[in-house]
Every structure is written in structure tokens, then in C-alpha cells.
């Protein structure tokens, strides 16, 4: 099929390459000239495992092109809208300006029979509004909403072999046409058994926000348990293992630590609360306020624990923060708990050095006042305390004996509970985890 992908960020760039891999002819479109230049050269504009290899592979086939001109979408019959929906400045609500601009500019190039597929995470009700707009400009085109559940760091796999497809479509012939078009696009994963659910627009939009809210709630639940464990002298990691063995609960997303960040979970739960308020259903989501509060409290607690580890004051202490990305296998620092803690430590008088295998360039842009050191060994040298905040494999595997010879004081705060407390203590370290005795 001939496909256009509007917006070539984490979602769109991977989607464009994955659709070409599935055998389609794809044009990726973005207003950002730098991003398009990189993609045209076969380079990923951000760190995502597997994406450079996928880009190289599909570009050889000639099935993947990139452009900054929306007019180049005119040759396609299915158009995926993959632009961002960040948090509005000073508000909880989502900022839909990129979605609106993409639709306005795409609409004038639509032909009879074209299918527009929204993938961006939007407040419920957006698809119905956009369907009216599409209808007014291109009455024979149809809109579908097909939310994306990809995780950064696993984006290629999540796109090519997702857990499920959700199609939000209108009723009647238009809905059937949209369903048939998406079935054709996803023929390969569907044939391999990926389930698909066909629902209305509002349900499709809500599936995405509900899924992210559930994940955020699961993380905040275990972080709340960590608070109680800290007060009671219990171990939250053993608690998570034990409750996670109940299949109804499951062990995934029960890792207590510095909490969740990134470009999705924090802003999505806030936008969901804001939208529920507009719909008169705000009471239903007041628990998400608590989820958000527990999550933010973790950051303050990690700063507090670091102060305790440093003997009661951060002033003049050299602290090495291991990790800047919001999670490993990503260079994304949007709402990164690691950077938020690093900045707080510095504001409270510490001299902070941040290290990360992939995210330092992005981190520098966001927090230019912090010091950055790409080499782990150099970053660690002469520290009074190590604070592990993003669980890259390299940090999980640090040898406490070897690292002990490089620092000035053997204090370690394991903000993701991934180090072996016994091994570190044995090597003479004062070890502190999250919700662990």
C-alpha cells in the first residue's frame, strides 16, 4: 500500500520504517528539516535500538522516502498521523496544536477513498471532532483512530509485533472501509495472530489513556508500598516478588524506585484528568492525582536519602549521578526523574556530575547548569556518593570492589533497586535502596 506518515519523532520514524519493512511504499513527512535530513541519510535522529539497522535495510529497497513537504503525502492512500501531544504550558491538558496543524495541512491533499489514521495520544472526543473537519474538506475520505502502545527502547519490536491492534472507526460503510484498509496495512502481523479489536472512536482513544494510567498506577502503587516498607523496616523488592507471583497481579511494572518519567506517562495521566474534568467525570480520576503525587514524592525522597547518605548535608559533596535518560535503552530526557534529582542535588549545594551512555547531549540542552561526563570511570572518580537513577546494564554490572578504589567515600544510593546490597556492603560500601532496610 502507499502510505504517508506525518510526524517523524519516536513514534512516526519507527512507524514509517516498520511499514516499509512490512512491504509498503512509505513517505515520512516532518516539518523539522534536520530530522528529515538525518532520516534521508539513513540515520536515526534519536537513540532507539534496532532502528538504524531497520532504516538501512528498508532504504535499500527504495520503499522508504522522507520529505518536509505535506504535498508529498498526496500519492498515499493511507495517512498515519504520528505527531506529539505534549502537556500544555501551565496546564494539565494536552496541547493539540501539532495534531490540528497536521490535519489542516493534510486535509487539502486528501482524495476520495483515502484513510487517515490517527496514532497520536489524544483526549477522548478529539477523533470525532477531527472526523467532522475531514468530512467538511474531503467528504469521501475517512478517519480512523489506531492508538500506538510502543515503548521507547522496544519501539521496533512493539511496532512490528504489537500485543494488539485497536481500531477506532465510525459505524457503517466508512468504518468498514477503514477497517479493511488497516487490515491490509497490518496483514503480516495479523496473519501471525496479533489480535485486533474494532471499536468506536471514543473507546479507542480511551484504551490508550486507560492503559497508560494503569501502568502509572501500578508503579505508584509499588512506590507507595516502598514508603510503607521504609517506615516499617520491610523490603519492597521481596514484597513485589511475592505479590507479583499472583497471576492476577503480575510482577511487571512493580519496580519501586525514583518513579516514572518520559514523554508519555506523566503528561498522559494529567491530560486524562483534565479531560475527565471537562466531561464532568473528574471524580472518577481523582486517584490519578495521588498517583502523580506519589511519583513526584519519590524524587524528593531520593534527594533526602542522598543527603542522609552524605552525613546530613549536601554542601560541598561531589555526587555522581549514574543515568540521565528517563529509562535505559533511551536517550530521551523528557521529564526524566534522574535529571530532576540531579538538578535538586546541585541546587542544595552538591557538585553533581551526570553520566549516561546515550542521553548526555539531550540532557545538556535541558539542564545546561549541570556537569556531564560521558566516561563512567572519570565520572565516578573522587565522588563522595554515587546515585544510580537509570538502570543501564553497565551500571547494574559495576564491580563494587573496583569502583570502591575510585571514589573518595563509599556511599551508594540505588534509586532503581538493581544492585546487590550484600555485595556492595561486603565491599565496604554504605548502601541505600528504595523501600529496603
Q: Which residues of the shown chain bind ligand UDX in the complex (CB under 6 A)?
A: 148-152, 212, 215, 219, 253-255, 257, 259-262, 264-265, 326-327
- E strand segments, 94-222: 115-118, 142-145, 165-168, 196-199
Whichever of 84 and 262 has its CB closer to ligand UDX, that residue is 262
Minimum gap (Å) between residue 304 Cβ and ligand UDX = 18
Whichever of 212 and 355 has its CB closer to ligand UDX, that residue is 212
Whichever of 36 and 124 has its CB closer to ligand UDX, that residue is 124
Establish how many alpha carbons lie within 13 A of residue 60's alpha carbon, considering only the half-sphere containing its beta carbon: 5
Whichever of 170 and 435 has its CB closer to ligand UDX, that residue is 435
Establish how many alpha carbons lie within 13 A of residue 406's alpha carbon, considering only the half-sphere containing its beta carbon: 17
Whichever of 40 and 151 has its CB closer to ligand UDX, that residue is 151
- CB contact at 8 A, 71 and 99: no
The secondary element (H helix, E strand) that includes residue 160 is: helix 155-160
Give the number of other CB atoms < 10 A from CB of residue 293: 11
Q: Whole-angstrom distance between the N-terminal and C-terminal Cα of the chain?
A: 57
Minimum gap (Å) between residue 194 Cβ and ligand UDX = 15
Minimum gap (Å) between residue 283 Cβ and ligand UDX = 25
Minimum gap (Å) between residue 109 Cβ and ligand UDX = 28
Whichever of 168 and 175 has its CB closer to ligand UDX, that residue is 168
3-state helix, strand, coil in the chain (%, to 5): 45, 15, 40
Which cell numbers hold the place of 160?
512490528
- CB contact at 8 A, 298 and 118: no
Instruction: Please enumerate in sequence order all residues whose Cβ is within 8 A of that of 74, keeping only pairs 6 or more positions apart, or say none.
Output: 109, 111
Query: In angstroms, rounded to a whole number, what is the distance separating the alpha carbons of residues 185 and 77?
Result: 11
Minimum gap (Å) between residue 261 Cβ and ligand UDX = 4
Write 421-424 long-range contacts (CB < 8 A, 24+). 424/400
Minimum gap (Å) between residue 164 Cβ and ligand UDX = 11
Query: In angstroms, rounded to a whole number, what is the distance separating the alpha carbons of residues 23 and 58?
Result: 9
Whichever of 63 and 218 has its CB closer to ligand UDX, that residue is 218
Cα dist from 160 to 54, 91, 154, whole Å: 11, 35, 10
Query: In angstroms, rounded to a whole number, what is the distance separating the alpha carbons of residues 27 and 65?
Result: 5
264 is catalytic: yes
- E strand segments, 173-260: 196-199
Query: In angstroms, rounded to a whole number, what is the distance separating the alpha carbons of residues 386 and 379?
Result: 10
If we measure between CA atoms, which residue out of 332, 319, 405 comes closest to residue 366?
332
Whichever of 4 and 212 has its CB closer to ligand UDX, that residue is 212
The secondary element (H helix, E strand) that includes residue 321 is: strand 318-322
Minimum gap (Å) between residue 134 Cβ and ligand UDX = 24
Query: In angstroms, rounded to a whole number, what is the distance separating the alpha carbons of residues 341 and 300?
Result: 7
Of 8, 82, 264, 310, the active-site residue reads 264
Minimum gap (Å) between residue 327 Cβ and ligand UDX = 4
**Which residues are identified as catalytic?**
264
Amino acid at each position: 500500500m502507499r502510505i504517508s506518515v506525518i510526524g517523524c519523532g519516536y513514534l512516526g520514524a519507527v512507524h514509517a520504517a516498520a511499514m516499509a519493512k512490512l512491504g509498503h511504499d512509505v513517505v515520512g513527512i516532518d516539518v523539522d528539516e534536520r530530522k528529515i535530513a538525518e532520516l534521508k541519510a539513513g540515520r536515526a535522529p534519536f537513540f532507539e535500538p534496532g532502528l538504524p539497522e531497520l532504516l538501512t535495510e528498508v532504504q535499500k529497497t527504495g520503499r522508504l522516502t522522507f520529505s518536509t513537504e505535506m504535498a508529498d503525502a498526496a500519492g498515499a492512500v493511507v495517512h498515519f498521523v504520528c505527531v506529539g501531544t505534549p502537556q500544555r504550558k501551565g496546564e494539565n491538558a494536552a496541547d493539540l496544536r501539532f495534531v490540528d496543524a497536521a490535519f489542516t495541512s493534510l486535509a487539502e491533499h486528501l482524495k476520495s477513498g483515502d484513510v487517515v489514521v490517527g496514532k497520536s495520544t489524544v483526549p477522548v472526543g478529539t477523533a470525532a471532532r477531527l472526523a467532522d473537519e475531514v468530512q467538511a474538506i474531503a467528504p469521501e475520505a475517512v478517519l480512523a483512530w489506531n492508538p500506538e502502545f510502543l515503548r521507547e527502547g522496544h519501539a521496533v519490536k512493539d511496532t512490528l509485533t504489537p500485543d494488539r491492534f485497536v481500531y477506532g472507526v465510525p459505524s457503517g460503510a466508512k468504518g468498514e472501509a477503514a477497517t479493511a484498509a488497516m487490515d491490509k496495512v497490518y496483514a503480516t502481523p495479523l496473519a501471525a495472530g496479533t489480535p485486533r479489536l474494532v471499536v468506536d472512536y471514543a473507546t479507542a482513544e480511551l484504551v490508550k489513556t486507560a492503559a497508560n494510567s494503569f501502568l502509572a498506577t501500578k508503579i505508584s502503587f509499588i512506590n507507595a508500598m516502598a514508603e510503607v516498607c521504609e517506615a516499617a523496616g520491610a523490603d519492597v523488592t521481596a514484597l513485589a516478588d511475592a505479590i507479583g507471583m499472583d497471576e492476577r497481579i503480575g510482577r511487571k511494572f512493580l519496580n519501586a524506585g525514583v518513579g516514572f518519567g518520559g514523554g508519555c506517562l506523566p503528561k498522559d495521566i494529567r491530560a486524562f484528568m483534565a479531560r475527565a474534568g471537562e466531561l464532568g467525570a473528574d471524580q472518577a480520576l481523582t486517584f490519578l492525582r495521588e498517583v502523580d503525587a506519589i511519583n513526584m514524592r519519590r524524587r524528593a525522597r531520593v534527594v533526602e536519602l542522598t543527603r542522609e547518605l552524605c552525613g546530613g548535608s549536601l554542601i560541598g559533596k561531589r555526587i555522581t549521578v549514574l543515568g540521565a535518560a528517563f529509562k535505559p535503552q533511551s536517550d530521551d530526557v523528557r521529564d526524566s526523574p534522574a535529571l530532576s534529582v540531579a538538578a535538586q542535588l546541585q541546587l542544595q549545594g552538591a557538585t553533581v556530575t551526570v553520566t549516561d551512555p546515550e542521553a548526555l547531549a539531550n540532557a545538556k540542552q535541558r539542564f545546561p547548569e549541570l556537569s556531564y561526563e560521558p566516561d563512567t570511570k572519570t565520572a565516578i572518580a573522587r565522588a563522595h556518593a554515587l546515585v544510580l537513577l537509570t538502570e543501564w546494564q553497565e551500571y547494574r554490572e559495576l564491580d563494587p570492589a573496583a569502583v570502591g578504589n575510585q571514589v573518595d567515600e563509599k556511599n551508594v544510593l540505588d534509586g532503581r533497586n538493581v544492585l546487590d546490597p550484600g555485595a556492595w556492603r561486603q565491599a565496604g560500601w554504605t548502601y541505600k535502596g528504595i523501600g529496603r532496610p
